[in-house]
Structure 1
Amino acid sequence: MPETSDTVRPEAEPDYDRLLRANLERVFNERDAGRRAAALAELFVDEPVLYEPADIVRGQAAIAALAGRLLDQFGPTFRFTPVGPAVGHHGLGSLQWQAGPDGGPVAVTGADVAEIVGGRIARLWVLLNPPGL
């Protein structure tokens, strides 16, 4: 009689570091709207949801527009930079980051936490650290 187990074998884990770093670089640091849209189509599910502290953004086009507005708002040298590798398991990954002008002081720090479905970002939470952290 075969042994039974309550343990379920998980599917292969996605490459959290590659996916979340690509999101920072190819979506939130990308100033060309066409390249940003192409990256979103590759990295995100068809109907993703992004949770910001003060808003919920639904759909690839809306996320692309948000990223473009952020880059326009903060100036031509503003960029997001990963801090350490992304970590994750069971479809949930996180990446710490900092942002500010190239060569300038860090203006904001935080983390992206993503639910990954089928190797693509389905939901993304943007968590901002309090100033000074």
Structure 2
Amino acid sequence: MSIPEPDYDHLLRANLARVFNERDADRRAQAIQELFVADPVMYEPDGVVTGREAISAVAGKLLDQFGPTFRFTPSGRGIGHHGLGVLRWEAGPEGGPIAVTGSDAAQIVDGRIAQLWVLLNEPVVQ
């Protein structure tokens, strides 16, 4: 008997919209509670973040650092199988130039994000 696959696109898009684009700390905390397991781990290029509160703090700090119009936007559909999902994204000020691009890769356990890897693309030199 096979276990049904989660909706990788929906889950990873919700993570971008409801966690990494959410400026209200209470709404962000509620989203993390719904989208992540009890003890998630996020791997960033510069370190490892453990726990829901710590992930929320990282998201809030990013939004504060880059200004009020900074947004993460999905690029294409999230894909996955066997508990691993990937979604490409780009980020920058709304209506402005793209500042950074990357992908989120997530281990999904029981329909929630257990581990999240934030992968940044090399900057494009023009």
TM range (shorter): over 0.9
In 2, the alpha carbon distance for the partners of 1:93 and 1:11 equals 15
- Larger gyration radius, structure 1 or structure 2: 1
Asked if structure 2 preserves the Cα contact closer than 8 Å seen for 1:80 and 1:97, the reply is yes
Q: Secondary structure at the match of 2:3?
A: coil
* Percent identity between the two aligned chains: 69
Taking the aligned partners of 1:53 and 1:10, their CA distance within structure 2 comes to: 34
Q: CA deviation at 1:10?
A: 3.2
Q: Give secondary structure in 1 for the equivalent of 2:113.
A: strand
- Listed one character per residue, the Cα deviations across residues 14-48 of structure 1 (whole Å, up to 9, x for unaligned) are 00000000000000000000000000000000000
Counterpart Cα distance in 2 of 1:78 and 1:36: 16
Structure 1 counterpart of 2:18? 26
- Kindly indicate whether the alpha-carbon contact (under 8 Å) linking 1:10 and 1:90 is maintained by their aligned counterparts in 2: no
- Mapped pair 1:40 → 2:32: yes
Q: Does 1:86 align with 2:78?
A: yes
Unpaired runs of at least 5, structure 1: 1-8
Matched residue type, 1:87 = I
Structure 1 stretches of 4+ moved >3 Å: none
With the length of structure 2 as denominator, give the TM-score of the two structures.
Answer: 0.98
Distance between the aligned counterparts of 1:10 and 1:127, measured in 2?
A: 30
- Counterparts of 1:103 and 1:60 in 2: how far apart (Å)? 31
The structure with the greater share of residues assigned to strand is 2
Matched, 1:11 2:3: yes
Counterparts of 2:74 and 2:67, CA distance in 1: 19
Question: Distance in 2 between the 1:115 and 1:123 partners?
Answer: 5
Cα RMSD of the aligned pairs, angstroms, is: 0.9
Q: Report the 3-state secondary structure (helix = DSSP H, G, I; strand = E; otherwise coil) of the residue aligned with 1:57.
A: strand
